[in-house]
Amino acid sequence: MSFRTQAEPRRQERGGMSGFERYLTLWVFLCIVLGVALGQYMPALFQAIGRLEVAQVNLPVGLLIWVMIIPMLLKVDFGAMGQIKQHWRGIGVTLFINWAVKPFSMALLGWLFIRHVFSPWLPAEQLDSYIAGLILLAAAPCTAMVFVWSRLTGGDPVFTLSQVALNDTIMVFAFAPIVGLLLGLSAITVPWDTLLVSVGLYIVIPVILAQLWRRVLMRRGQAAFEAALARIGPYSMAALLLTLVLLFAFQGEAIIGQPLVIAMLAVPILIQVIFNSGLAYWLNRCVGEKHDIACPSALIGASNFFELSVAAAISLFGFQSGAALATVVGVLIEVPVMLLVVRVVNRSKGWYDKGARRGSQ
């Protein structure tokens, strides 16, 4: 292997993320501090915001979530699904992890840690809600940040794009049934009407709007499309941070009363990311898939569409619910944990290639 090839992942890891993305954990932490402070000093304002609802949908939050999600879905080219056959083994492994392993393993980890290990230190009335939030977090595969993680590992861009497009197509139909099934198995009441409304508002409609907008932009050329993405990207991140400020303003009392709640909720999320990324990486090696396919496969298998999870948790259980708090913990640890996975897969390329060659024979 040449020096250039060895150095490439390290150069990508330094330069592949914007300054904002690299320090997302810091911005989320600042949102926690700001939200809790504002909630304590201006409770009447946030109570008024909480009452701005139509059919159980909070209007300010609904608007923020659309601004947050639609630019991310704009990057997805569903035409890439025609190239799925090129990497059918990697696609199969990723689908298995995303839809047959991750939601169910998170439900198990939530039951183990929230219901049993940490239950003496958590509010009893919120245990079900915390587990529900963890399930919502794991039931939606990541859409936008996956392109960043894939780039940091030198992942095959065609595979990454086709896998994301396929996942988003499946998510339109599978998110509600999987969430409903796992909430039911966890003895949590499933508000089916609100769940289906959430899928329509935060998956189906944004996907349609994003694809229509994408077609309009692509008619102007690739350069115009890239320029539009660069312009609207900051609005998406700003909407995410404003949503978090609102959420923590409502969660202030719970966080002040039990500051270790966030650390306890982070434990099953951290284990889930490490387990699923490791399993996907190992399975790709076993079936002889190339390293530049295995890397994005592992990262897609481990990461979550946390923007959608936050939206669904707020719609289903409310701003002040444990479910909403649990999904936000996923946002808090997403970047450092995924960068750890990026570092591991980059440094293990030699080990991976030896086993993958044997698996393909």
CATH code: domain of residue 27: 1.20.1530.20
pLDDT for 358 equals 57
What residues does 58 pair with on adjacent strands?
53
pLDDT for 151 equals 79
pLDDT for 187 equals 67
- Residue 2 covered by a domain: no
Residue ranges of the chain with pLDDT lower than 70?
1-22, 55-57, 80, 83, 143-144, 187, 189-191, 254, 356-361
Are 329 and 266 in contact, with CB atoms under 8 Å apart? yes
CA distances for 79 relative to 76, 83, 102, 163, angstroms: 9, 8, 26, 11
**pTM listed for this prediction:** 0.77
- Residue 11 covered by a domain: no
Other Cβ atoms less than 10 A from the Cβ of 255: the count is 18
**Which residues neighbour 142 within 8 Å (Cβ) at sequence distance 6 or greater?**
299, 300, 303, 304, 305, 306
Residue where the block lists tokens 């083994």: 89
3-state secondary structure of 48: helix
- Residue 235 covered by a domain: yes
pLDDT for 8 equals 41
pLDDT for 60 equals 83
pLDDT for 69 equals 78
Mean pLDDT of the chain: 82
- Residue 248 covered by a domain: yes
- Residue 209 covered by a domain: yes
- Residue 313 covered by a domain: yes
- Residue 10 covered by a domain: no
- Residue 14 covered by a domain: no
pLDDT for 356 equals 62
pLDDT for 2 equals 35
Distance CA 34, CA 20 (A): 18
Residue where the block lists tokens 């946390």: 306
Q: Considering its fold, how many domains does the chain have in total?
A: 1
Q: Domain containing 220: what range? A: 20-357
37 membership: H or E segment, kind and range = helix 24-41
Query: Which tokens sit at 333?
Result: 């640890």
pLDDT for 138 equals 92
